[in-house]
Amino acid sequence: MVKFQPKSIAIIRALDLRIIQGEYAATFKRIEPFFVSNYNREIKNLLKSKKTNYIDLKLTQPYLFDPIRLFFKRTSHQSWLAFDNKSLEKTLLPIDFLQIQEPFFLYSGQVADIAQKYNKPLIMAPFMCFNHLSSYIPPYSLSVRRAIDQTDLFIMRTERVSNYLSQFKIPNRKKVLIYHGINTKCFFPRKKDRGGKIRILFVGVLDSNKGLDDILDVFPKLVKLSRRDIELVICGKGVLEKKVLNMAKTLPINYMGYVSNLSLPEVYRDCDIFCGPSKDEYFLGLKLWEEGFGFVFIEAMASGLPVVTNDCGAIREVVGEDNYINEQDDKNALQKSLLELINDPKLRRSVGLRNRDKAEKFFNLEKQVIREENEIIRRFI
C-alpha cells in the first residue's frame, strides 16, 4: 500500500512526454507528487532515482479510429487517445489535487469528470496562447469545455496564455502567472572559454516551423563572411534530416541526431550561440501552431548562451529584449544577428551572463515549484 501524506497531487500527462515533466513532478516537496502518464522509460528511471511516485497507465482509442495516426502515421498530443476510464478513476481516487496541462487533450476531459464526481480541486497549467481550432472541433472541443468549466485554478505559463483563456471569460481570481522552470543545476555555463570554432546550436524538431530551413539557407554565407571558424551543431530528428546530412558533406555541420535529455546540458555548454528562429504554422489562413514557451530557449539561457530567434508566440516574453528577436522569415536579419555574435566575443559573453541571471530569477525549477505549492496550499488547504 502507498502511504499518502496529508495532501497529494496527481500530475497527469500523456503522449508528448518530456523529461522536464518528470523533473517538475519530483520537485514538489510540501505536497506529495504522483506522476501519472503512459509509459516512458526515461521519466520512469528519473522518478525512481528521485524516489517520486510514478504510475503508468495504458492509453486506449475511445473512437473507431485516430485520424492523426491514420493520416500522419504517428501519434502526437493531438491523437484521439485517452486513458481507460476505470483505471484512471481508480488511480486518482485517493489523490487530493489533480493537475492537467492543455484542455484539448482528450484525457483532460476525463480528469475533469473525475474531479467533478469526487469534488477534487482541478488545476490546469496550460501553455496554449492563441485561439486554437481545438476549441471548436470535436472531440477536442468536448474535452475543452469540460476541463475549462471544472478547473478551479489556472496556472498560466506565460502572460500570453491569457489571450487563449480570455475567450472562456474566466474570472481573474482563478488565474495566476507562474512560469515553468528548468533544472538550473544541470543547465549552467561552462567555466572557461574553450577557444577554437564558434559553435551555433540548434535543438528541436528538424522542420520549417522551428526555423531550421532558414538556418540552413544562411549558413553557407556565414561560413564565408565570419571572421572566425564556425560550426553548426544540430540536435533532433525530422523531415529536414536528409537535407542536413547532404549539407554536412561540404559544410562544417555536426549533425548529432537525437540527443537524450540527460546529455543535452553538456551539448549546450560546448556551444557558443543558440539559434531557434521559430515560425507560426498556418493552414488556409488559420493559425495551427506558435511557440507556446520554448524550453530550449530557457535551457540555452541557463547555459549562458545568447539567443537568436524570431518573434513567434511567447518567445519575446520568455527570452527578453537582451537577445536577438527578428521578424519571421527575415533571413537577412537572421544572418546579421548571427554574424554580430560570431564576431564579437564580449557581446556573446555579456548577453550570455544576463541570460543566466534571468534564467535563475524567473525559470529556476525549485523556486517556481515552491510558488506553485504555496498557491495551491493558500487556495485549497
Alpha helices (H) along the chain: 19-26, 41-49, 67-72, 85-92, 106-117, 140-150, 161-165, 212-225, 241-247, 264-269, 295-302, 315-319, 331-343, 345-362, 365-380
Listed residue (253, 247, 307) closest to 275, CA to CA: 307
Q: Are residues 353 and 372 in the same domain?
A: no
Q: Return the minimum-mean-pLDDT range out of 19-23, 190-194, 220-224.
A: 190-194
Query: Same domain for 160 and 216?
Result: no
In a domain, 192, yes or no: no
What is the pLDDT at residue 24?
98
Query: What is residue 153's predicted lDDT score, i.e. its pLDDT?
Result: 98
Assess whether 55 and 142 both reside in one domain: yes
In terms of domains, do 35 and 53 share one?
yes
Residue 190 lies in a domain: no
Has residue 2 got a pLDDT over 50?
A: no
Same domain, 139 and 158: yes
If you average pLDDT over residues 340-355, what whole number do you get? 97
CB atoms within 10 A of CB 84: 15
**Stretch 62-70: mean pLDDT, rounded?**
76
Q: Which residues contact 327 (CB under 8 A, 6 or more apart)?
A: 310, 311, 333
Look at residue 31 and tell me if it is in a domain: yes
Give the Cα separation of 320 and 318 in Å (integer).
6
Residue 72 falls inside a structural domain: yes
Q: How far apart are CA 313 and CA 59, in angstroms?
A: 30
CATH number at residue 346: 3.40.50.2000
Least confident of 131-140, 255-264, 357-366: 131-140
202 and 102 together in one domain: no
**pLDDT 10s digits, 294-325:** 999 999 999 999 999 999 999 999 999 999 99
**Mean pLDDT calculated for residue range 256-261:** 94
Shared domain check, 241 and 129: no
Are the C-beta atoms of residues 116 and 91 closer than 8 Å to each other? no
**Reported confidence tier of residue 162, pLDDT bands at 50, 70, 90:** confident
Which tops the pLDDT comparison, 2 or 322?
322
Residue 189 lies in a domain: no
User: Is the same domain home to 369 and 357?
Assistant: no
pLDDT of res. 69: 74
Question: Is 156 inside a domain boundary?
Answer: yes
Return d(Cα 279, Cα 313) in angstroms, integer: 9
Domain that includes residue 78, residue range: 8-181+364-380
Does some domain include residue 38? Answer: yes
What mean pLDDT do residues 362-370 have?
Answer: 98
Q: Are residues 374 and 326 in the same domain?
A: no
Mean pLDDT, all residues of the chain: 93
Q: What is the mean predicted confidence (pLDDT) over 311-340?
A: 97
pLDDT band for 166, please (50, 70, 90 cuts).
confident
Arithmetic mean of pLDDT, 332-356: 97
Same domain assignment for residues 230 and 350: yes
Whether residues 63 and 163 share a domain: the answer is yes
Do 152 and 239 fall into the same domain?
A: no
In a domain, 306, yes or no: yes
The domain tally of the chain equals 2
